[in-house]
Structure 1
Amino acid sequence: MGTIKTLNKWANAHTYYPLDLLRIVLGVFLFTKGISFMANSQILMDLFSPIQNIAGGMITVHYVAPAHFIGGALIAFGLLTRWAIIAQLPILIGAILINFVGEMNTTNLVVATITLLVCIFFLFYGSGKHSADYYFKMQQ
């Protein structure tokens, strides 16, 4: 717990608007991907076709869309950012691995890799000073 407090203090001392904007853009991107997967679940099923025979495949399909939808909203507002990103990491790692198991789609690979790297950055950086987490912490 002390490590998280230390990271939060460092992040709040070194917060900048472009980083907050990047966090919001990441959250909106994940939110729109969640909406896209909910609206057209066949796209998601096609993405999972290389691993459809693995146990838990249907559970995974039902985990991805809500995790992106809810996690994206939380990340955009800066509320429970680290927890929301932890929920995104298995999905993004799976998105990268699917490109190597199935048909290689370089655009999806690049987008998934960049999203994973930005998520890992915010996993350590936190939500920053301009977030709901910081606001609620200051209200205590």
Structure 2
Amino acid sequence: MGYIKSLNKWANAHTYYPLDLLRIALGIFLFYQGVYFMSNLPYLIELYEPIEFLTGNVLLVHYIAPAHFVGGLLIIFGLLTRWAILVQLPILIGAVVINFIGEMNTTNLLLSSSVLLVCLFFLFYGSGKHSVDKYLKMQQ
């Protein structure tokens, strides 16, 4: 717990608007992907076809799309950012691995790798000074 508090203190001392805009852009992208996957379930199933024997279609429909949808909203507002990103990590790691197991698509590999790296950054950085988490903490 003390380690997280020290990370939050460091993040609040080094918060800049571009990092908040990056967090918001990440949340918008994940929200968009969640809506896109909900509306195009056959495309989502086709993407995860190489590892279907591990996961199954039920996991795809009931975990990936809602996790992106809800997690994206939470990340946009900066509410429970670390928890939302922890939920995203297995999906993003799976998206990177799929490119090596199935057909290699460099665009998807670069996109999923960059989103994974940004998520890892915000996992340690937190939601920042301009977020609902910070606002609620200041109200206590």
Instruction: Determine the structure 1 residue equivalent to 2:7.
Output: 7
Q: Which residue of 2 aligns with 1:110?
A: 110
1:46 maps to a residue whose letter is E
Residue number in structure 2 paired with 1:90: 90
SS in 1 for 2:53: coil
Counterpart for residue 35 of structure 1: 35
Structure 2 gap segments, 5+ residues each: none
Name the amino acid aligned to 2:126.
Answer: G
In structure 2, the residue matched to 1:60 is: 59
How many residues align? The count is 139
Query: Which structure 1 residue ranges, 4+ long, deviate > 4 Å from structure 2?
Result: none
Work out the CA distance in 1 between the residues paired with 2:7 and 2:53.
41
Residue type at the aligned position of 2:84: A
Write the distance in 1 (CA, Å) between the matches of 2:40 and 2:63. Answer: 15
Q: Is the CA contact 2:45–2:57 (under 8 Å) kept in the aligned structure 1? A: no
* Amino acid in structure 2 at the alignment position of 1:136: L
How far the C-alpha of 1:51 sits from its partner, in A, is 1.4
The Cα shift of 1:98 comes to: 0.3
**Alpha-carbon distance in structure 1 between the residues aligned to 2:101 and 2:59:** 16
- Say whether the 8 Å CA contact 2:48–2:98 is kept in structure 1: yes
Shift of 1:58: 2.4
TM-score (norm 2): 0.97
Q: For residues 52 and 117 of structure 1, what CA distance do their matches in structure 2 show?
A: 25
| Structural RMSD (CA) | 0.7
CA distances 1:16-61 after superposition (whole Å, capped 9, x unpaired): 000000000000000000000001101100001111222x322430
Q: Unpaired runs of 5+ in structure 1?
A: none
Provide the C-alpha distance between the structure 2 equivalents of 1:133 and 1:67, rounded to a whole number of angstroms. Answer: 20
In the alignment, the residues of structure 2 paired with residue 91 and residue 52 of structure 1 have an alpha-carbon distance, to the nearest angstrom, of 13
